[in-house]
Amino acid sequence: MRYSLIVFDWDGTLIDSAGAIAECIQQAARDMDLPVPDRDTASHVIGLGLHDSLRHAVPALPREKYGEFVERYRQHFLAREDSMAPFAGVRELLVRLNERGITIILIEHIMSAVMSFSQRLAVLVSGKKIADGKPEDVVRDPEVVRAYLGQ
């Protein structure tokens, strides 16, 4: 069977982000003077929803502090995003698939993660397409900048 389109989620499927996720949870807990979960506990949350993740990894975190914790986690994660590499062979696989005429869709909100793979970039916000075109043009689009950087 020949496929003309394959959709991948970037985080955790094509790149190994599990270690970074656990470390960022631990660092956010330290930032807020909460008990720091061990690596296994922090890793166990991968795939869970936000509230389930926080209840499991940082049970001492009051519900009203969830937003602050998430923001601290996000800052640590974004600081590491460029150091997370694809699993071995992923780059080559994506190139081979594309050379065979297969369209590849990567689902990811971190623009730098997909820039080197993309020939075309579409940006959606709340289900509405706000930009579509060459990656180097899309990342400079004022509406994209406003949506992702709040400017």
pLDDT at 121: 87
Question: Stretch 17-28: mean pLDDT, rounded?
Answer: 92
The pLDDT tens digits of the residues spanning 51-75 come to 889 999 999 999 999 999 999 998 9
Higher pLDDT, 128 or 16: 128
CA distance 140 to 115: 13
Question: Is 1's pLDDT higher than 60?
Answer: no
Among residues 124, 149, 119, 146, the alpha carbon closest in space to that of 134 is found at 119
CA distance 115 to 95: 14
- β pairing state of 121-125 and 103-107: unpaired
> Residue type for 138, please?
V
CA distance 104 to 97: 8
* First-residue to last-residue Cα distance in the chain: 46
User: 3-class SS at 121?
Assistant: strand
pLDDT at 30: 97
The pLDDT tens digits of the residues spanning 75-94 come to 998 888 777 888 899 889 98
CA distance 7 to 92: 16
Alpha helices in 45-141 (DSSP H): 50-57, 66-80, 90-99, 111-114, 135-138
CATH number of 18-83: 1.10.150
For the chain, give every domain's residue range: 5-13+86-149, 18-83
- Give the angle 66-72-75 at the CA atoms, nearest 5°: 140
